[in-house]
Amino acid sequence: MKTLTPLKRKFLALLLILTLASAAGADGTNQFRGMYLEPGKTAADYRNVALNPMDTTNREPVSFPHATSNSEYNQREFAARCAIDGSRRNDDVHGCGSWGPQKQPDIWWRLDFGRPIELDKLVLFLRAAWTPADAPHDSWWQEATIEFSDGSTEKLVLKQVAAGQEFPLAKRTVSWLVLKNLKPAADKWCALCEFEAWGRDAAEFAYVPDAAFAAQLRQDPLVAKAMAAMMGFQRASWEQGVAGQALLEAGEQDAAIALARASLIYVNQNGVVAAQGGSTTDPLMLGDCLWWSARQTGDPELVKAADNMRQFALKGAPRAADGTPFHQASSQEMWADGSFTTPPFLAAAGQPDEAQAQLLGVHRRLWDADKKLMHHRWSEAKQTLVDSSFWGGGNGWTAAAFARVLRSLPADRTADREQLAAMLKELLDGCLAHQRPDGLFYDKVDDPSSFVETDLAAMLAYAIYESVRGGWLPESYLPRADQMREAVRAKMDRLGFVQGVAGAPRFDRPGISPEGQAFFILMEASARKAGRPTPAH
């Protein structure tokens, strides 16, 4: 057998690390394919979050963090990626690895993190090929500007030193940064050997509380009964998903992981799990629970299932020309329910652009601007509504979806947040205009001849509590949510079933359902997080 050269050994070692990282964490931690995490570290650890020795020269990233530039002397030892490879050696032109741009104006170097990052410090190692003194190869940059994704900038004043130059920052949450406005001290080559950004991954799934919260929530006997009844149901794909969401938001972390793990049993031809009945995209209601469980455990099967589900949401699901997935692929229909399937999951999984586009795609087809309500079903093939009724459940799914997408948007998406918040407020106002004196709604929101239904009240209360807590809805909505909450709590029977919801399995008459149970739990968890007192009865 031939002896491998040190270079080949290093290449094979890196290839092995990348392969392992594609299935789980390179060190068993919660890491996804394409996201480098230093062995021995977790996403919550304070560390150099710019580090990625796996980065490539491709313009389209293979892994994150990912460095690009508009100027590279070559894409080998002077490529943009060389500045995040972990090597601080900077004593020579060759052999160190550095981002070495051409001698030209308006150069920039960009670092994409691939997810929200909390930063508080930068460290730059300039290439220090400053010998011999009478004819040095390099100069250095005296000034530079860092532009961040949140719109802020920092001016850096650099020195001719070989040591790392530290720049403390006011803590900020960003997804990318650009190094630009570089001013050389002399008309010679300048290069950056290593760029370090110190911080940690921004808190993902901040709405998932801990075991202490779960224990407090279970002290409410109605919540404990609702949870037991929910877990006793036979559940179809979307019901499994919303049950998992309820467990997650109630802080029942072990139960949420167990439910996600159990969902691996049913896999459809697209590789999507939890696929037991329902529409084309219904299984994706499990998305948050599955994605979070994979991140928490590093379980290779959960990681694979979560990634398959995300890819299906992004590209695999049959969809209209504008990219909006069909809720029912066979008939090419969008339903109001579809707002709750892919968009919230994609937002939580770090795909805010696609999440927003898909949510707006459903809204655009089903929104009635005069009524301020969502119609039920749209046929893309026929380009017309096939069910123009204002089904309460569909409006509730949509309101809850808006709240979930809003809370998952990166901090720098101010304009998007304002747009979605305004749309949610319009929908809430449209529904509240038809609220009954007892706090409940009709199954067809504007049709008093339809039966009185419980679930919409729980859905809207949940959306209001989450949105007021998030700061994109005024507190003036809280009394209406409290009224709805009391009405829903009054509908629970002695076994813990929330009565009077659109009943499974046909949802055309009052009854009980897994989503009725789930939204009771979601409502109660959000009310407690929002600091609302538990009603006396």
pLDDT for 335 beyond 70: yes
> CA 383, CA 46: separation in Å to the nearest integer?
52
**In this structure, which amino acid lies at residue 335?**
W
Q: What is the mean pLDDT of the chain?
A: 90
| 315 DSSP assignment | I
In the block, residue with structure tokens 């998305």: 287
Res 34: pLDDT: 61
Range of lowest pLDDT (192-206, 273-287, 520-534):
192-206
pLDDT for 30 beyond 70: no
What are 480-528's pLDDT values in tens digits?
A: 999 999 999 999 999 999 999 999 999 999 999 999 999 999 999 999 9
What are 176-185's pLDDT values in tens digits?
A: 899 999 999 9
- Kindly state the tokens that stand for 361: 């795609």
pLDDT for 310 beyond 60: yes
Average pLDDT, stretch 347-357? 92
Res 40: pLDDT: 86
pLDDT band at 28 (very low <50, low <70, confident <90, very high): very low
pTM of structure: 0.72
pLDDT more than 70, % of the chain: 93
> CA 20, CA 16: separation in Å to the nearest integer?
6
Res 173: pLDDT: 83
What are 216-273's pLDDT values in tens digits?
A: 999 999 999 999 999 999 999 999 999 999 999 999 999 999 999 999 999 999 999 9
Res 117: pLDDT: 87
If one counts every other C-beta atom within 10 angstroms of the C-beta of residue 50, the result is 25
Res 537: pLDDT: 65
Alpha-carbon distances of 153 from 176, 240, 256, rounded to whole Å:
12, 45, 41
pLDDT for 346 beyond 90: yes
pLDDT for 190 beyond 90: yes
If one counts every other C-beta atom within 10 angstroms of the C-beta of residue 8, the result is 11
pLDDT band at 387 (very low <50, low <70, confident <90, very high): very high
> CA 231, CA 23: separation in Å to the nearest integer?
30
What is the CATH code of the structural domain delimited by 6-201? 2.60.120.260
Average pLDDT, stretch 164-172? 95
| 127 DSSP assignment | -
Average pLDDT, stretch 358-386? 98
Check if the beta carbon of residue 402 is closer than 8 Å to that of residue 395.
no
- Kindly state the tokens that stand for 475: 């507190």
What are 53-109's pLDDT values in tens digits?
A: 999 887 777 888 999 999 999 888 899 999 999 999 998 889 888 999 999 899 999
Average pLDDT, stretch 111-128? 91
Domains 6-201 and 211-529 share a fold: no
Report DSSP letters for 451-466, one per residue.
PEESHHHHHHHHHHHH
Check if the beta carbon of residue 199 is closer than 8 Å to that of residue 121.
yes
Res 149: pLDDT: 84
Q: What is the residue extent of each domain of the chain?
A: 6-201, 211-529
> CA 202, CA 537: separation in Å to the nearest integer?
40
Print the SS3 string covering 345-397. HHHHCCCHHHHHHHHHHHHHHHEECCCCEECCEEECCCCEEEECCCEHHHHHH
pLDDT for 385 beyond 90: yes
Res 339: pLDDT: 98
What is the CATH code of the structural domain delimited by 211-529? 1.50.10.10
Which stretches within 3-73 are classed as H helix? Answer: 6-23
Spatial CA neighbour of 249 closest among 472, 474, 491, 466: 466
What are 394-410's pLDDT values in tens digits?
A: 999 999 999 999 999 98
Res 110: pLDDT: 95
> CA 227, CA 216: separation in Å to the nearest integer?
14
Res 133: pLDDT: 79
Beta-ladder partners of 196: 123
